[in-house]
């Protein structure tokens, strides 16, 4: 026998038992987001590598070590999309969406690819539902975006959620702050973890993420970006907070909140669930006012989020409904009637019933057992002499003309009307 092949590390098959739960995420997201004016967008599964290098940022973990990049054979470097915001901003600029009434609100549900160390809740191909609103810097849009994610997670039953919120200010404030933070880290460099010390120049903000005890002590006295916001950014952030208060969405202010992507300005937020293990992030996002411009489009404000479908399901942790029960099962007691069985199951489907027929050569006893397993309400038994319709609920059965099976089952299921 040849070696059995397996799905690549960090990937998974979505088996039938999981697909109902995933479909529920998609339909709840659609209902909620479309009711708030978001329209669905699909972008390609791969893009020019430069989109992510410029959009997500050269210094980020994603661009430095997690991208699946390849040469397309024509000397161009392409990358399987690791996130959705940069592609949506590219599409906004490419299709002149700045000429539409603003803000333009877009949502997506797609798979993304990151070459991360695979572990529970962290995959190399994973799904995100995301929402992006472009063309307005109104703090009410930040608040609306956050509230929509809160409502979605709530509707899907995600448990033990915490929302952390902060503001990164504008790019100039961040640069000044970055220099201040670097000076603080250099002054205490002996106490830092090696990897933090190595990244002082490249990405000093990530020092807030470290679990290393020496680093944590240094960070406890580090300057905080929220204390350095200019008046306009501070006012914007205060308005976002006050609108969340109005909407009765609770949050914690967390000035150490650092998102792994470079494009954020002003508001950043993250939902995590205490019922998940180490990979506790369920979804997050923020404002990215310069991003469209950075990708060659017009100066455009934007705010949005992405939430991991697998993490949402883990945080909801429920058994989800299986396939809908079969309304009519067509059993065959006489081989000569296979054609009738096929005609009956087809007529049932045309009439809108969930219907199946025997396809595995079982004995009649085996067929009735199988129909029971499928939760069948009615079973039509096509025998040598006649056709019997059995109501599995009441166990009553009656002989019916073969062409009346569907009408009888429909009457039994939906009543005489
Ligand atoms: P990010 O785009 O990094 O802000 O991630 C947003 C959300 O996507 C996270 O909160 C997770 O729920 C999910 N996510 C990110 N990376 C992965 C991954 N490798 N595997 C599964 N889910 C992920």
pLDDT tens figures, 405-415: 999 999 999 88
User: What's the rounded Cα separation, in Å, for the pair 213 and 219?
Assistant: 10
Q: What is the pLDDT of residue 231?
A: 94
Q: Which atom of ligand 1 is nearest to the CA of 281?
A: 10
Pocket test for ligand 1, best of 84, 85, 128 (most atoms within 8 A of CB): 128
Pocket test for ligand 1, best of 126, 127, 163, 164 (most atoms within 8 A of CB): 126
CA of 354 to the centre of ligand 1 (A): 37
| Cβ proximity of 348 and 355 under 8 Å | yes
| Cβ proximity of 141 and 244 under 8 Å | no
Alpha-helix runs per DSSP H in 263-363: 291-294, 309-316, 338-350
CA dihedral 228, 180, 214, 280 (to 10 degrees): 50
Q: What is the pLDDT of residue 322?
A: 62
Helix (H, G, I), strand (E, B) or coil at 411: helix
Q: What is the pLDDT of residue 255?
A: 81
Whole-Å CA distances, 328 to 343, 345, 371, 410 = 13, 8, 9, 9
The residue whose C-alpha atom lies closest to atom 8 belonging to ligand 1 is 308
Residues of the chain with pLDDT under 50: none
Rg (Cα) of the chain, in Å, rounded?
Answer: 28
CA of 283 to the centre of ligand 1 (A): 7
Q: What are the structure tokens assigned to 275, written together?
A: 């019922």
The residue whose C-alpha atom lies closest to atom 9 belonging to ligand 1 is 283
| pTM (global) more than 0.95 | no
End-to-end CA distance of the chain: 58
User: What's the rounded Cα separation, in Å, for the pair 133 and 305?
Assistant: 9
Pocket test for ligand 1, best of 52, 110, 306, 315 (most atoms within 8 A of CB): 306
Pocket of ligand 1 (CB under 6 A): 83, 114, 116, 122-123, 126, 128, 260, 281-284, 306-308, 310-311
């Amino acid at each position: 026998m040849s070696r059995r092949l397996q799905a690549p590390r960090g990937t998974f098959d979505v088996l039938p038992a999981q697909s109902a739960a995933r479909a529920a995420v998609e339909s709840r997201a659609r209902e909620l987001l479309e009711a708030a004016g978001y329209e669905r967008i699909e972008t390609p599964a791969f893009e020019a590598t430069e989109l992510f290098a410029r959009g997500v940022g050269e210094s980020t973990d994603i661009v430095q070590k997690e991208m699946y990049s390849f040469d397309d054979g024509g000397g161009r470097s392409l990358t399987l999309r690791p996130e959705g915001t940069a592609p949506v901003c590219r599409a906004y600029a490419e299709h002149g969406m700045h000429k539409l009434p603003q803000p333009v609100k877009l949502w997506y549900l797609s798979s993304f690819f990151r070459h991360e160390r695979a572990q529970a809740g962290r995959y190399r191909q994973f799904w995100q539902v995301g929402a992006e609103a472009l063309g307005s810097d109104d703090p009410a849009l930040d608040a609306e975006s956050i509230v929509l994610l809160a409502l979605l997670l709530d509707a899907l039953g995600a448990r033990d959620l915490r929302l952390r919120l902060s503001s990164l200010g504008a790019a100039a404030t961040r640069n000044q702050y970055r220099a201040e933070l670097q000076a603080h880290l250099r002054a205490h460099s002996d106490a830092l973890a090696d990897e933090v010390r190595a990244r002082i120049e490249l990405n000093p903000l990530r020092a807030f993420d470290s679990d290393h005890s020496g680093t944590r002590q240094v960070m406890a006295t580090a300057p905080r970006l929220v204390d350095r916001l200019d008046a306009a950014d501070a006012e914007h952030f205060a308005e976002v907070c006050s609108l969340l208060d109005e909407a009765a969405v609770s949050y914690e202010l967390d000035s150490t909140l650092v998102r792994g992507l470079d494009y954020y300005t002003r508001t950043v937020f993250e939902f995590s669930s205490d019922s998940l293990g180490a990979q506790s992030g369920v979804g997050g996002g923020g404002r990215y006012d310069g991003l469209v411009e950075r990708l060659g489009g017009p100066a455009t404000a934007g705010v949005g989020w992405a939430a991991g479908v697998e993490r949402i399901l883990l945080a909801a942790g429920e058994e989800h409904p299986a396939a809908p029960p079969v309304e009519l099962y067509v059993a065959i007691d006489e081989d000569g009637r296979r054609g009738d069985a096929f005609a009956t199951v087809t007529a049932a489907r045309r009439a809108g019933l969930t219907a199946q027929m025997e396809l595995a050569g079982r004995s009649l006893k085996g067929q009735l057992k199988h129909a029971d397993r499928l939760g069948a309400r009615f079973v039509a038994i096509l025998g040598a002499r006649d056709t019997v319709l059995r109501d599995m609920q009441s166990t009553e059965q009656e002989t019916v003309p073969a062409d009346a099976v569907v009408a009888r089952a429909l009457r039994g299921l939906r009543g005489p009307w």
